[in-house]
Amino acid sequence: MAEVKKKEMPLLFTKDNYKWMLIGIVIIAVGMMLMAGGKSDAAGAFDFKEVYSTRRITVAPIVILLGLAVEIFAIFKKPKKVNVEA
């Protein structure tokens, strides 16, 4: 019986891709943390300046979009070519 040789397929992502994906996830998490909060001490009080602060309305969404851009970069990043002479 002839042995069937399996053709080894290269991995879709390399260690470098996963590193960039982790960096992107951390950046997105930081953006979510910047957007969180705003709890008032008084139940019936609404602090307009706290809820609609520049940090929540502008900075946090930009940080999240930067994290998503890093994720896209990580997915499309091609691995470095290694010259293997045998």
Where does residue 31 rank: exposed (0-12), middle (13-18), buried (19+ CB within 10 A)?
buried
Ordered per-residue pLDDT tens for the chain, 86 residues: 667 777 777 778 889 999 999 999 999 999 999 998 767 777 777 777 877 888 999 999 999 999 999 999 999 988 777 666 65
pTM metric for this prediction: 0.76
Q: What is d(CA 26, CA 67) in angstroms, rounded to the nearest whole number?
A: 8
